[in-house]
Structure 1
């Protein structure tokens, strides 16, 4: 047992805290997820207020589905940033023929995939999933996500809205990055858990001093305001195409693997086997339902957040009521016009500054997965699988067959990685008969 787990439990999972303690702990979890949850819609051109609302409601649905036994917060998933950006760009191009709202249809289908995986886990256990998605596949795919977003982060820091190099933007980005790094390395306790939020606040203040921030919309906004939701059949006609399926669904490999990792870590932190009770199928279904709901109102796909698991490890306050409180606060923030307007004024170099670190951490976490699982690159099959995934994913390789079929980048790399792991000889070769045996 780790040193962290040797500390006394402050609040058990089913224990209700006192009101003052409840509010403070809930605010802490809200801050822990806030920076990353808001960053995803900011990068993809979605509404941050809707992302907050969908994360709050998604978290409440997750808690209900898992019978209140899994203290987790669900926020925006980084894995789908590139696919969403690509599809929104096509939607904006009148010559592409891509219907408006296609990226939301793709997000809904991702939630369906989570739910189907949950049903399969409930039926045959987890052995098949572990064999289909070993570290040698998932690690390089995670690296592709981070490295594939590198250009986006750098352009946000270096280019102004006209697309020209701007030294002021570079300074704002570097100041934001510096504050984030200093907070992460040199602070302790609560501050060390929210370096992204502190970096955004510090960078925002510096940007305001540099005259880049315009507060007009914040002043004009009302305190209570309903954001502009994107609801199917009301704001757009949902349409499914092969492009949407092939661009979004393969990426679901990453959050599924991430979800399993989070449940294993969380089990160690709270000293309960969550894989068995309430079961991985329930937590995976919770992810699926949250993602499907988010897509129905115009929010990004959701996933469990490691940042909030970190808060649990530090505070040892595992109460599910704390997460209910954080979810309710997120929903309230989403309906506050002043807050939504304030989020909209955050300059791109501020988000770019924290993105440099976050996207790098994503790539490094893929490398960490390979190291921690002791993947041996002296074995040719491992070297081949990782090399092919990295080059195809980062290089943006694509397969186009007219207007009917298109598979590219991260999605293509994910599928090829899974296929190579199945067909290449070696000790990690998948045995299909064994995969679907009852455990």
Structure 2
């Protein structure tokens, strides 16, 4: 494949084409790649900052520790992304902190806070739980456990999982906050939609950089209004007080601690993350104009994410590492699916983590701008999920029921669990009262694990759709499995890193021709 490809047309299924500006193996010019890479990074900036801010608040970190934690997130994200795109599944997918493991992390902090544990002790407990959960995920991936389930997971299940990835984020504070500046959020959204959907045919700049232009334009306006004293939207004081260089080293908070019940809770969050990543792999493949990932690619992707979790635990993020949905949405909007671009963006993330000024500048982006960005990104993800249904016979009632129930259960049951956990009667107490099984379900570690799984929309919807799709009678043609097999890449299309290192060449004819 050529080093520079423009507006290539890639077949993604039996009759649909997807316009991709830069394919997975393309390498745009370095200067352009830097801007495109920064754009990928900016799409997930809300999550990259939100997770450490939530954790630092719960841990009781001071301003300096909070800045250190944010910088650590950037560095871990960049290194994990380079590892995944180079050695792992080699998809152009950004790695970073996960909300799936934020729930158990906050639960662990809550238990420790009740005993007046020091903030660094809490962090060390999180590190130990994450490292063990990561090692289990390494086994799940490289032993091929999840890949063996792939034959039972068809378009219906994937449609539910991917759609819930976007729908589950519908209530993030950057979108629904009552105090949100909707003029600024609306401007960001309008600019992104304008450049990506209406003006993209007029200039490749609009097509390639809609997020950068939209976010940058809104931020510039907010900065001008703030400097002029019209409104207080951007505060640059964190930049002035930031250190030029921020050292980020392994075990910077201390050596990890390992507690059984905490490990079990984090394990549940890891499983939810695995399900989400499985959907992400299919989503990014479709966005990039590629066939659905084969089991070998899925296994290596999850194995590398497990190693990313172990690395996150060693570095002390207090959170794990997983595939980022926002980055996938950016691929769909811009058509830039280049692995090289994502790797350049990863290098930028690492630099930002160590250079205090850059990291501080990122924290000055108003939540309203991030909210406008999220509206565009998450909507794209929901659409991609529903597009999987083109392979399914929706004239069959069983398919309509599986789809509807999976989506509804994925949105409603986690909300119920959240309400129970916030009420005076805890989930643990409720499970303990269940006849016969209460003695087991009421065990704190068991209740916590069930609470995390049942409180994760992707896990609930995905499991429900998986069970129903594989138990309700229906032919493989009706379920879309036949068409799914036709668009799944050949087993030889993905070569593990060690085979490529030894000089092995892919045998897939399309790749060979490239």
Establish whether TM, by shorter chain, passes 0.5.
yes
1:336 and 2:358 aligned = no
The Cα of 1:72 is off from its aligned counterpart by 2.5
Alignment size in residue pairs: 402
Q: Relative to 1, partners in 2 of residues 1:352 and 1:345: Cα closer, same or farther, differing over 3 Å?
A: same
Q: Deviations over 1:179-225 (max 9, x none)?
A: 23223323433543443443332332333312222111212223332
Q: Name the CA distance, whole Å, in 2 between partners of 1:12 and 1:349.
A: 32
Partner of 2:99: 81
Secondary structure of the 2:95 match is: strand
Answer with 1 or 2: which has the greater Rg.
2
What root-mean-square deviation, in Å, do the aligned CA atoms of Structure 1 and Structure 2 show? 4.3
CA contact (8 A) 1:74 1:303 kept: yes
1:144-155 → structure 2 map (5 Å cutoff): 144-153=164-173
Q: Name the CA distance, whole Å, in 2 between partners of 1:154 and 1:27.
A: 27
CA contact (8 A) 2:127 2:257 kept: no
Q: Relative to 1, partners in 2 of residues 1:155 and 1:310: Cα closer, same or farther, differing over 3 Å?
A: closer
Q: Name the CA distance, whole Å, in 2 between partners of 1:357 and 1:23.
A: 27
Secondary structure of the 2:397 match is: coil
Q: Name the CA distance, whole Å, in 2 between partners of 1:340 and 1:350.
A: 17
Out of 9, 32, 53, the position equivalent to 1:4 is 9
Partner of 2:483: none
Partner of 2:322: 302
Partner of 2:42: 35
CA contact (8 A) 1:111 1:292 kept: yes
Q: Relative to 1, partners in 2 of residues 1:418 and 1:243: Cα closer, same or farther, differing over 3 Å?
A: farther
Partner of 1:212: 233
Q: Name the CA distance, whole Å, in 2 between partners of 1:11 and 1:137.
A: 27
CA contact (8 A) 1:157 1:348 kept: no
**Which stretches in structure 1 are left out of the alignment for 5+ residues?**
160-165, 431-438
The Cα of 1:12 is off from its aligned counterpart by 9.6
Partner of 1:409: 455
Partner of 2:187: 175
Q: Name the CA distance, whole Å, in 2 between partners of 1:373 and 1:110.
A: 35
Partner of 2:72: 50
Q: Relative to 1, partners in 2 of residues 1:218 and 1:232: Cα closer, same or farther, differing over 3 Å?
A: closer
Q: Name the CA distance, whole Å, in 2 between partners of 1:388 and 1:11.
A: 36
Partner of 2:139: 116
Partner of 2:423: none
1:234 and 2:275 aligned = no
Secondary structure of the 2:444 match is: coil
Q: Name the CA distance, whole Å, in 1 between partners of 2:127 and 2:378.
A: 23
Q: Name the CA distance, whole Å, in 2 between partners of 1:340 and 1:261.
A: 29
Partner of 2:431: none
1:96-107 → structure 2 map (5 Å cutoff): 100-101=122-123
Q: Name the CA distance, whole Å, in 2 between partners of 1:75 and 1:283.
A: 11
1:226-375 → structure 2 map (5 Å cutoff): 226=247, 231=251, 234=254, 237-241=257-261, 242-263=264-285, 266=288, 268=290, 275=294, 279-297=297-315, 298=317, 300-303=320-323, 305-306=327-328, 324-371=343-390, 373-374=392-393
Q: Relative to 1, partners in 2 of residues 1:44 and 1:97: Cα closer, same or farther, differing over 3 Å?
A: same
CA contact (8 A) 1:38 1:51 kept: no
CA contact (8 A) 2:20 2:288 kept: no
CA contact (8 A) 2:405 2:465 kept: no
**Which stretches in structure 2 are left out of the alignment for 5+ residues?**
1-6, 12-18, 54-68, 226-230, 421-426, 429-441, 480-490, 492-514
Q: Name the CA distance, whole Å, in 1 between partners of 2:416 and 2:387.
A: 22
Secondary structure of the 2:122 match is: coil
Q: Name the CA distance, whole Å, in 1 between partners of 2:50 and 2:269.
A: 18
Q: Relative to 1, partners in 2 of residues 1:301 and 1:195: Cα closer, same or farther, differing over 3 Å?
A: farther
104-113 or 237-246, larger mean C-alpha shift: 104-113
Which of the pair has the greater relative contact order for Cα pairs under 8 Å at 6+ separation?
Answer: 1
CA contact (8 A) 1:183 1:192 kept: yes
CA contact (8 A) 2:196 2:334 kept: no
CA contact (8 A) 2:288 2:331 kept: yes
User: Which TM-score applies when normalising by structure 2?
Assistant: 0.63
User: Which TM-score applies when normalising by structure 1?
Assistant: 0.73
1:391 and 2:412 aligned = yes
